[in-house]
Amino acid sequence: MNKRRIGIGIAVVAGLVILFFVGRYFVIQKEDNERRSNQAKIEKAAQLAKKKAKEAEEKATRLAAEKAIRTLHQVCLYADSIGIDTTRYTVVSTAKKPITDAKLTQLLLEIRYGKKPSGLEYNGLKERVDSAWARNIETAVEPKVLAGLAEFAPYNQLVGHYDRLKSKVASNPAIADSLRLIRQTLNFYRYVNRFNPDRFVVVNLPAGELNVFDRTGERLLPMQVIAGKPDRQTPCMTTYIQSIVTYPYWNVPRNIALEEMLPRMKRSSTYINYQNLQLLDDKNHEINPKSVDWKSISVTNFPFRVRQGAGCENSLGLLKFNLANPLAIYLHDTNSRDLFKNTKERWRSHGCVRVQKPVELANLVLGAETFDDKFLDECLLDQKPKTLPIPKRFPVFITYNIADVDAAGKLRFYKDVYSLDDK
């Protein structure tokens, strides 16, 4: 009986234990299910939040890209109105913002600084391009900022002519060529901004003119020039006046000495003295022309350098403006000043530029009245070259602008004297 009771007790205890563990199992299962369900809900919520955040980011990116494209389009319209070819700045409607921003930055830089003009043979000036300005797009594209870039009077006048002619091109297609020439000059004026000059010289070869401008475009000193002949073209360049020389020598370029002077030297024994020329050897010693066996001298056998002595009849006149360049080009006075009065043919030099008002130009560059009005007329004898330093580099732009405005703001088209218009 006792054994039976013990067995029953054991069975009851075992049943209770089993029941406990079964119950515990179901409790644990329920808790696990609830945890898994909550985790699934959390993960689903997180995925939903991530999806919404991604959608919001994509929307913001899309809206920013669309805004950038609209901004680029607006700036292109402005650029087109000032003569810039905007076809290379177009983007597709699905373009990413970084691509559009890069195009916009490039366009803003061209609006402000232009492109290097074709035909520029030498650049001796340091550029001062503010690239950070263009990268700050939100500020750079403001209308007042864009409008403020065009404070140069001739540039503004030329833009006005461009807009006027552009409105007529549909009814008169021939105007398109005039617009093309104006665009080239507008680009030149923008290109000048790269150097941020306060005062500077512009020699426009087709016009046969020199102007000294300040940064507002005021013509401080206009004058005529005589530039290179079509077969001895004055090269286009950006440079600066290094110094001014009074009573300069003329170191005759070798090609001129051989082609033009040598035949005359051989024909006439008085030619060298009459032209105040000097023959120099490789040690810079002067050679007596009478000691030369002229029969043995030829284009291939000419061991001399030719120099014209200083004085009233020197081809460079009494003032020479040394320009920094490797092409041996400079500005200078002339011993034939009447040419400015007697001819409109302004292209007759060997390549350098003869200026009509050398005294006024020298005084302006030096920043002082160094020379009076009588300097050229007095022309002292037995003078030696004297070099005057420049207080500050004075930029010089020798350019080839067929279309431009004159002092009155009137649109002018000049003759393509060097046949450089590539159309």
Q: Walk along the chain (423 residues) and give the pLDDT tens digit of each residue.
A: 667 777 777 777 777 767 777 777 777 777 777 787 778 788 788 888 888 888 887 788 888 889 999 989 999 999 999 999 999 999 998 999 999 999 999 999 999 999 999 999 999 999 999 888 777 777 767 766 666 666 899 999 999 999 999 999 989 988 999 999 999 999 999 999 999 999 999 999 999 999 999 999 999 999 999 999 999 999 999 999 999 999 999 999 999 999 999 999 999 989 999 999 999 999 999 999 999 999 999 999 999 999 999 999 999 999 999 999 999 999 999 999 999 987 788 999 999 999 999 999 999 999 999 999 899 998 888 899 999 999 999 999 999 999 999 999 999 999 999 999 976
Q: Is the dihedral of CA 241, 243, 248, 251 positive or negative?
A: negative
Q: Rounded CA gap, 114 and 365, in Å?
A: 27
- Lookup result for tokens 């069975």: 11
Q: Is the dihedral of CA 252, 304, 242, 371 positive or negative?
A: negative
Q: Rounded CA gap, 3 and 347, in Å?
A: 140
- Return the pLDDT at 36: 78
Q: Rounded CA gap, 21 and 373, in Å?
A: 122
Return the active site residues: 332, 352
Q: Rounded CA gap, 209 and 214, in Å?
A: 16
- Could you give the angle at which helices 153-166 and 175-192 cross, rounded to 10 degrees? 160
Bridge-partner residues for 237, per DSSP?
122, 398
- Could you give the angle at which helices 2-81 and 153-166 cross, rounded to 10 degrees? 90
DSSP state of 298: B
Q: Rounded CA gap, 340 and 208, in Å?
A: 11
Contact 125, 325 (CB under 8 A): no
Contact 65, 102 (CB under 8 A): no
How buried is residue 167: exposed, middle or buried, by Cβ count under 10 Å (0-12/13-18/19+)?
exposed
